[in-house]
Structure 1
Amino acid sequence: MEKSSKPAYGGQAIVEGVMFGGKHTTVSMIRRKDGSLDSFEVERQSPAWVTKAKKIPFVRGIAGIIEASINGSKHLNFSSDRYDVDPSEDDSIKPTEKSSKLNLILGVAAVAVLSFLFSKLVFTLVPAFLANLFTPILPGHVAQNLLEGGFKLILLLGYLYLLSFTPLIRRVFQYHGAEHKVINAYEAGQPLTVQSVQASSRLHYRCGSSFILFTVIVGVGLYLFLPFDSLMERILQRIVLIPVVLGISYEVLQLTNRFRDIPVLKWLGYPGLALQLLTTKEPNDEQTEVAIASFNEMLTREQSYTSSAKADIV
């Protein structure tokens, strides 16, 4: 099969595992406390408005983010709930507890969307406040926007760098690397063996980390065309433009993925790839084995729905 004809599958690193998504289903695989593998599936059942919105340029990115946040939170909840529990203890969970966990998953899905919006709000407004403090020194509109973008970038890089020192997050970053390696190997037509996958790159043009960086770059460019007269006007402007920045950034992400094999244009995705040096780490063989098992399980279940599949963000 040619690389260009392969479906563009996406995925997400979770606690001690990896989730992969196709057009009809999302499947995660985790390593349990006893070393065994355990899987979890969530069938894609997008509301009609989401399906329609995902076909509209500059709107589809926001719809995709909402859907990914909801589905991803369910898999993340599954992994964090079970990875450190011995499988022999599974039967001891009472039916009422299982029901509570299902309700919790629905709650976590809602929290995931709100958490994303809140974090985006924080990363948008804090740099604006900081840049405003330097108005007496750098009062120009262009200088203020560049300074705001600089603070935003420092905040993002510093946050990710500090996170990487947390043992649990570092392992999640390793599984993130394993996820990318599997997709890169698959798209390159390589066999999905541990040895072959490990030889693949842990960086990928379609990664959500790149998307986050592009929101910074797009924001700086967009704000240059929108002057403001006060801090309050600046803040309101940034809040209102969050959906616009997200929509444009998603299109930029897709564009860099299409251009990644064109020598002159592939550098457009380099900033996002550079950020992935922080958000991904080299996985060990056991972690890569989990990622491969997750991807193969997703393919198997996807084929039970249809022979063709397609997803969005890695």
Structure 2
Amino acid sequence: LGFMFIRGIVTLIESMALGFKALSYSVNEATEEEIKFSKREMTISVIIAVVFAVGVFFILPTIIGRSFSEFFPNAIVYNLLEGLIRIGFFLIYILLVSQIKDIKRIFQYHGAEHKTIQAYENDEELKPENVRKYSTIHVRCGTSFLIIVMIVAILIFALLGKQPMIWRIISRILLLPVIAGISYELIRLAGKFSKYKVVNILFYPGLLLQKITTKEPDNDQIEVAISSFKKVIEAEKALKAG
């Protein structure tokens, strides 16, 4: 069981590293020739983003929750309140960024990606007309993962009881990789057993949130998703072939 959680943490770190490389490439391809970003600049940007995310979605809810501690002497109820504040912040953030024009387009590509993956998993030939009929919602989506992280965090932090503020903040930061690892394994299981209705019920909050983070794509976006997916499959086959 311990190996599974470690595997989840390692896989997440690898995914973040790969995502960082992809982000660096995308940003430099999208900008003009004379405005290329160095690896150092991209690294600093990512670090700032991570610090901001941890601060807003983990530390700030802890501080706000602390102000209500005298009204909730029960540790479980107290940690539940903190978790609900955290989820509330996340939902507000998603709703706000979803109003940005460029983000809406990214969400369309996100939907195209999900459609393509589902077509592939159902052994369909990857053509726009085959891909389009599938849903933009997928159980293994990163959006679902983030919601699971926040729910698992509530359960883990509830076990710690009430702590002094400094230890609450430190525990939130130190336990984040563990929570992410557990959440990753849960998402993997959800993907493996996604045909069972009970699994979709348990992961319904994440699926519901995808109605915001995915949008119906146009044909060009579907073609981009198909082309990108085929490249990934080719790269995986080449890697396995050695």
> Taking structure 1 as the reference length, what is the TM-score of the superposition?
0.69
Asked if residue 68 in structure 1 is aligned to residue 11 in structure 2, the reply is no
Summarize the Cα distance change of 1:232–1:301 in structure 2 as closer, same or farther, 3 Å threshold. Answer: closer
Unmatched 5+ stretches in structure 1: 1-54, 86-92, 309-314
CA–CA distance in structure 1, aligned partners of residues 223 and 210 of structure 2: 21
Q: Identify which of 62, 79, 95 aligns with 1:145.
A: 79
Amino acid at match of 1:184: Q
State the 1:123 CA deviation: 0.9
Summarize the Cα distance change of 1:241–1:301 in structure 2 as closer, same or farther, 3 Å threshold. Answer: closer
Q: As a proportion of its length, which structure holds more strand? A: 1
Aligned counterpart, 2:112: 178
Say which is worse superposed, 216-225 or 118-127, in terms of deviation: 118-127
CA–CA distance in structure 1, aligned partners of residues 43 and 13 of structure 2: 10
State the 1:168 CA deviation: 1.0
Asked if residue 154 in structure 1 is aligned to residue 88 in structure 2, the reply is yes
Unmatched 5+ stretches in structure 2: none
The superposition leaves residues 164-205 of structure 1 with CA deviations (integer Å, 9 ceiling, x where unpaired) of 011111111111111111101100111211121111111111
CA–CA distance in structure 2, aligned partners of residues 240 and 145 of structure 1: 17
Say which is worse superposed, 294-303 or 153-162, in terms of deviation: 294-303
Asked if residue 196 in structure 1 is aligned to residue 130 in structure 2, the reply is yes
- Give the RMSD, CA atoms, in angstroms: 2.5
Aligned counterpart, 1:273: 207
Summarize the Cα distance change of 1:59–1:116 in structure 2 as closer, same or farther, 3 Å threshold. Answer: farther
The superposition leaves residues 69-123 of structure 1 with CA deviations (integer Å, 9 ceiling, x where unpaired) of 22212222222322365xxxxxxx5xxx79x75xx24652575366335513431
CA–CA distance in structure 1, aligned partners of residues 137 and 39 of structure 2: 30
Asked if residue 263 in structure 1 is aligned to residue 197 in structure 2, the reply is yes
Amino acid at match of 1:129: I
CA–CA distance in structure 2, aligned partners of residues 265 and 298 of structure 1: 28
Aligned counterpart, 1:83: 30
Identity of aligned residues (%): 37
Amino acid at match of 1:83: A
State the 1:151 CA deviation: 0.4
CA–CA distance in structure 2, aligned partners of residues 263 and 64 of structure 1: 27
Q: Identify which of 203, 210, 217 aligns with 1:283.
A: 217
CA–CA distance in structure 2, aligned partners of residues 207 and 289 of structure 1: 20
Q: As a proportion of its length, which structure holds more helix? A: 2
2:65/2:81 contact within 8 Å kept: yes
Asked if residue 228 in structure 1 is aligned to residue 168 in structure 2, the reply is no
> Taking structure 2 as the reference length, what is the TM-score of the superposition?
0.88
The superposition leaves residues 126-181 of structure 1 with CA deviations (integer Å, 9 ceiling, x where unpaired) of 11111111223333212211111110111000001100011111111111111111
